[in-house]
Chain A
Amino acid sequence: MNTIEFTILIALGSILAGFIGALTGLGGGVIIVPLLTTAFGVDIRYAIGASLISVIATSSSAAAAYIKEGYSNLRVGMFLEIATTIGALSGAFLALVLAPSSIAVIFGLALLHAAYSSLQNPKDSLESKEDPLAKLLKMDPSSYHVQNIPGGFLLMMAAGALSGLLGIGSGALKVIAMDRVMKLPFKVSTTTSNFMIGVTAVASAGIYLNRGYIDPALSLPVMLGVLLGATIGTRFLVRSKTSSLKILFSAVIFILAVEMIFAGLKVKI
C-alpha cells in the first residue's frame, strides 16, 4: 500500500470514528485507537498520539456549540483541570512503564465502561444544602449546590490518567465525577466536561510530542477525518432520533472492546 492509499483509508475510518463518537457522545478517541491498532496494525503508541490530536480538535470545535446548549461551570471546570492535568501527566509517565499489551487491556476495559455508561439515562440528583468547601471556592451558582469536591477531584485525577495513558478524552468518567459525585446538573456536567477535555488532552499530548509519538503523516488523516465525521455526526444528532442507532453503535464498541482485551492478552501469552 502506498502513502496516498493508506492516508485515504485511514481518513475514511476516522470519519466513521468521528461520526460514531459524536452520535454516542463518547468522542472519536475511544474508537480511533482500536480501529488503528486492530484494523490497520498501527503501533499503539502512534495510535494514542494521533488520537489525542483528534480529541483536542473535536472538543475545541464543539465548544462553541456546547455553550449555546447550556451553562457550563467555569470555576468547577478550572479547579478540576488541576486534577485532570496532573492525572494526564501521570498517565503519560505510566505509559512508559506499562507494556503496550497491558495498555490494550486497560483500554478495552475503559471502552466497556464508556459503552455501558452511554446507555444509562441521565438523571439529575441535586442537593439542597450548601457545601462549605464549595462556598470557599465560590463554585455555587444560584440554581444548584456543588457537593463532595475531594471525591470529584480524585475521580478527575483518574479520568486524566486514563486520558493520558490511552489517548482518549475520558468524557464519560468526567461527567460521572461531576453529575453523580459532585451533584451538578447533567447538562452542566457534559458542557463543563467538553471544556475540560481539550486542556486535559494537551497536557499529555505535549509529552507525547516530545517523546516522538505524534506522527504528522498519521495525524493528518486522523485529525481531519475525525473532525469531519464529528461535525456530520453532530448535525445528524440534532435532526434525528438516535436511540436505536445508539444501541447499535454501543454494540459495535462492545465488540471493539472485547477484541482489544483479547488482542492484549494474546500478546502476553
Chain B
Amino acid sequence: MDDRKKTHSMETAIGHVLKTGVILSASIVLSGGILYLYRYGAMTIGYATFKGEPESLKNVYEIFISALSFHSRGIIQLGLLCLMATPIMRVILSLVIYFKQKDILYIIVTSIVLCLLVYSLIFAR
C-alpha cells in the first residue's frame, strides 16, 4: 500500500512536468504566432494542395537554427518540438524512477520505448 502511495506521488510530479511542458510550448507557439501574423497576416494562404515543409522546418537541428534567426515559422516549430519533447520527458523520468527502484525488467521496457521515440524523431522518414 505504501509503495502504491509512493508511486502515486511520483505520478503527480510527472503530471506537473507534463503541464509545465505544455504551458512552455504553448507560450513559444503563441509568441511565434503573433510575430508570424504581424509579418505575413495580410498574405493569402491555403492548404488544399500538399507541398510539404521546407528543410528548415523539418529537421530538429534546422528548426533550432531557424528559430534562433527569429524566423516566425521557425519559432512556432520550436514550440511544437518542445511539445513533442514533453511526453519524451515523461518516459525519461519513468526510466529514472525504475533505475532508483532497481527494476531491471522495466528499465529494459522503458528503454525500448525511449529508443523507438528517438528513432522516430531523429531518423525516421
Contact = CB atoms under 8 A, between A and B. Distances in A.
Given A72-B11, A78-B94, A43 B113 contact: no
Interface in B32-74: 32-33, 36-37, 40-50, 52-54, 57-59, 73-74
Contact of A220 (B29, B43, B88, B120): B29
A61 interface: yes
Contacts of B26: 57, 223-224, 227
Contacts of B45: 1-3, 6, 217
Interface in B1-51: 1, 4, 7-8, 11-12, 14-16, 18-19, 21-22, 25-26, 29-30, 32-33, 36-37, 40-50
B35 to A, nearest CB: 11
A40 interface: yes
Nearest to B57: A216
Interface stretch (A27-35, A150-158, A196-204, A243-251): A196-204
Interface residues of B, number: 67
A89 B117 CA distance: 9
B73 A71 contact: no
Nearest to A54: B83
Interface string A52-85: 0100110111011111000110110011011001
A22 B125 CA distance: 32
A41 B48 CA distance: 6
A205 interface: yes
Contact of B53 (A2, A67, A214): A214
B53 A53 contact: no
A71 B76 CA distance: 35
Given A142-B1, A210-B59, A216-B77, A67 B11 contact: yes
Interface of A: 1-4, 6-7, 36, 40-43, 45-47, 53, 56-57, 59-61, 63-67, 71-72, 74-75, 78-79, 81-82, 85-86, 88-89, 92, 137-138, 141-142, 195, 198-199, 201-207, 209-221, 223-224, 227
21 contacts: A1-B45, A2-B44, A3-B43, A57-B83, A60-B18, A65-B15, A67-B12, A78-B106, A81-B91, A82-B109, A85-B113, A89-B119, A202-B84, A203-B116, A205-B84, A209-B58, A211-B52, A211-B125, A216-B57, A219-B80, A221-B33
Interface of B: 1, 4, 7-8, 11-12, 14-16, 18-19, 21-22, 25-26, 29-30, 32-33, 36-37, 40-50, 52-54, 57-59, 73-74, 76-77, 80-81, 83-84, 86-88, 90-91, 94, 103, 105-106, 109-110, 112-113, 116-117, 119-122, 124-125
